[in-house]
Amino acid sequence: MTQHLADARPTSTGTQPGWWRDAVIYQVYPRSFADSNGDGMGDLEGIRSRLPYLKELGVDAVWLSPFYASPQADAGYDVADYRAIDPMFGTLHDADAVIREAHELGLRIIVDLVPNHCSDQHEWFKQALREGPGTPLRERFHFRPGRGENGELPPNDWESIFGGPAWTRVADGEWYLHLFAPEQPDFNWEHPAVQDEFRSILRFWLDLGADGFRIDVAHGLVKAPGLPDLGRDEQLKLLGNQVLPFFDQDGVHEIYRSWRLVLDEYAGDRIGVAEAWTPSADRTALYLRPDELHQAFNFHYLNTGWDAEALRSTIDESLDSMRPVGAPTTWVLSNHDVVRHRTRFGSLERARAAALLMLALPGSAYVYQGEELGLPEVVDLPDEVRQDPSFFKANGQDGLRDGCRVPIPWSGDQAPYGFGTGGSWLPQPAEWAGLSVEAQTGDPASTLELYRAALRVRRAHPALGAGDAVEWLPAPEGVLAFRRGDFVCTANTTSQPVRLPAPGTVLLASTDLTEPDVLPADSTVWWQG
């Protein structure tokens, strides 16, 4: 089977080694993509059936959020068995079928890996609880005695990302560390058994044909020696850049060097992608040295508003930080943890313009399912349907991640819009009928056709894709203009039209152009210079 998958693996089309240097990678959130059996929940067979859509869209690879066996305390990021599929998503045979069919279509598959923590239903953790204090299995996690006269206080002052203490006390009096939900105990990555187990998990999925891994909380595996107090009253941010004793510790790099050796055992440019929230782009670059991982999400870019000066600064900083380590910069506007960028930026026009700007930049781009449809955030979900664990913590995050996870619309004029035959696990808005794949296909003014056209041009144009630099051109205030070879991109981030001499022939525009030397408000135009 492995040989069959290797034979079917697509070949790199970039000018530099490594397909991933200029890849457009599409994130699928499995429970919200396509439901094959009518239970209201997306699944692997649903994903497999929609792979031709992704091929037609023009992406290079598909990243699948977790589908492992899990009690679903945190939407599958609490893994009970890293080698098994949760029945809600299907079987291991279904996962194999997704990988095989993707390869036959020329698509690669990246699977999510969650190494910072597991589920409290993972066999290791259940055994550790049974064996009690001081036993070997407890050393694979962070068990500690409490503070206070009777050990009634947590071992330190760390707070959970989801709110409340980062420690939970068990029946025998010890406490265990969980940077996220109590159902997600953190592994102790100082323990060799943990390191051995995850190298084995890597090989399991690589043997099945996976082309790489998106590494959840890649910055969190190693904690500062002694687990020192934070020493300040500060609410932690899931998507922040604070300097913390349990994030972005230097010891993580030894782990990823060992993982790179495993990835390099396999043909076909298998990659590791870090979800690494760090204080700076330079710190992020450390994860991408030649003997570590291949890509890291550019959250500095995701957090930049629709403002020309701020965008130019972030673009320059991103490219400058990646250049010394020889890694491609990545660009991302939305994912399963943040408000969709159409809503963040305030309009569909800005979202379309931001998409063309992102896809014109050198490096690799990530597209979150539904952004190609111009989906807005669903902000009015009833409290009783929400499932984000931080929603139930009064002092946790905003608890509104469900709004970007509503199942996407495929067809029809009534919910669930072709998602499946049995409704959808989160309700879809009535206005999504006009945003479905069916409604937008063939409409040249639609956001879907804009993405399809942009990805066709990006794939065909020799100046687009891989690279590590842009040539900034003179432009009025509020406008970005840069050249890459004979390609020029102009983006007007202001709310007014701006006159700018046409730098060439129009290749693609995010909105209609009434005059060739006028950039409409909140628009991006691609030019053949």
Per-residue pLDDT of the chain (529 residues; tens, 9 = 90+): 333 333 344 433 333 469 999 999 999 999 999 999 999 999 999 999 999 999 999 999 999 999 999 999 988 999 999 999 999 999 999 999 999 999 999 999 999 999 999 999 999 999 999 999 999 999 999 999 999 999 999 999 999 988 889 999 999 999 999 999 999 999 999 999 999 999 999 999 999 999 999 999 999 999 999 999 998 665 555 555 678 899 999 999 999 999 999 999 999 999 999 999 888 888 999 999 999 999 999 989 999 999 999 999 999 999 999 999 999 999 999 999 899 999 999 999 999 999 999 999 999 999 999 999 999 999 888 777 777 665 655 443 455 788 999 999 999 999 999 999 999 999 999 999 999 999 999 999 999 999 999 999 999 999 998 899 999 999 999 999 999 999 999 999 999 999 999 999 999 999 999 998 999 999 999 999 8
Q: What pLDDT sits at residue 529?
A: 83
Contacts of 270 (CB under 8 A, 6+ apart): 206, 210, 211, 212, 263, 264
Strand pairing class (364-368; 68-69): unpaired
- Going by C-alpha positions, the residue among 354, 350, 349, 425 that lies closest to residue 386 is 425
414: exposed, middle or buried (Cβ count in 10 Å: 0-12, 13-18, 19+): exposed
H/E element, 64: strand 61-64
Which residues on adjacent β-strands are paired with residue 499? 518
Predicted local confidence at residue 377, as pLDDT: 96
State whether the Cα torsion 18-300-79-171 is positive or negative: positive
φ/ψ (deg, to 5) at 349? -60, -45
Three-state SS at 147 = strand
Q: Cα separation of 311 and 502, whole Å?
A: 22
Residue with tokens 């000066």: 309
Q: Which residue has the tokens 């091929």?
A: 55
CA distance linking residue 34 with residue 54, whole number of Å? 13
> Two tokens at 508?
């693609």
b/e map 50-80, b = 16+ CB within 10 Å? bbeebbebbbbbbbbbbbbbbebbbbbbbbb
Q: Is 265 a catalytic residue?
A: yes
Q: Is 97 helix (H, G, I), strand (E, B) or coil?
A: helix
Separation of CA 518 from chain center: 36
Report, in this order, helix, strand and coil percent for the chain, each rounded to 5. 30, 15, 50
Is 34 in contact with 419 (CB distance < 8 Å)? yes
State pTM to two decimals: 0.93
Task: For residue 41, give every residue at least 6 positions away whose Cβ sits within 8 Å of its Cβ, in sequence order, or none.
Answer: 31, 35, 88, 89, 425
pLDDT recorded at residue 243? 82
Between CA 320 and CA 299 the distance in angstroms is 15
The answer to whether the beta carbons of residues 218 and 275 sit under 8 Å apart is: yes
**Residue 471 catalytic?**
no
Dihedrals phi, psi of 163, to nearest 5 degrees: 100, 145
Q: Which of 123, 207, 264, 265 is catalytic?
A: 265
Cβ–Cβ under 8 Å, residues 118 and 126: no
H or E, element range at 482: strand 479-484
Helix (H, G, I), strand (E, B) or coil at 324: helix
Scanning the structure block, which residue is given the tokens 């490594």? 18
- Is the distance from CB of 270 to CB of 261 less than 8 angstroms? no
Contact 13, 61 (CB under 8 A): no
The tokens 């999510």 sit on which residue? Answer: 112
In what helix (H) or strand (E) does residue 50 lie, and over which residues does it extend? helix 44-57
Separation of alpha carbons 488 and 434, rounded Å: 32
- For β-strands 364-368 and 24-28, DSSP reports them as parallel
**Measured distance CA(207)–CA(266) in Å, rounded:** 9
Q: Alpha-carbon distance 378 to 375, whole Å?
A: 9
Q: Which helix (H) or strand (E) holds 24?
A: strand 24-28
- Buried b / exposed e along 242-263 (16+ C-beta atoms within 10 A): eebbbbbbeebbebbebbbebb
* Assigned token pair, 167: 């420690």
Query: Cα 145 vs. chain centroid, distance in angstroms?
Result: 36
Give the closest residue to 297 by CA, choosing from 214, 381, 236, 379.
214
Q: What are phi and psi of 282, to 5 degrees?
A: -65, -40
Please name the residue that has the structure tokens 């959808």.
Answer: 424
Q: Is the Cβ–Cβ distance between 181 and 78 less than 8 Å?
A: yes
Q: Alpha helices of 323-390 — where are they, by DSSP H?
A: 341-345, 348-360
Q: 86, 216, 317, 349: which is the annotated catalytic residue? A: 216
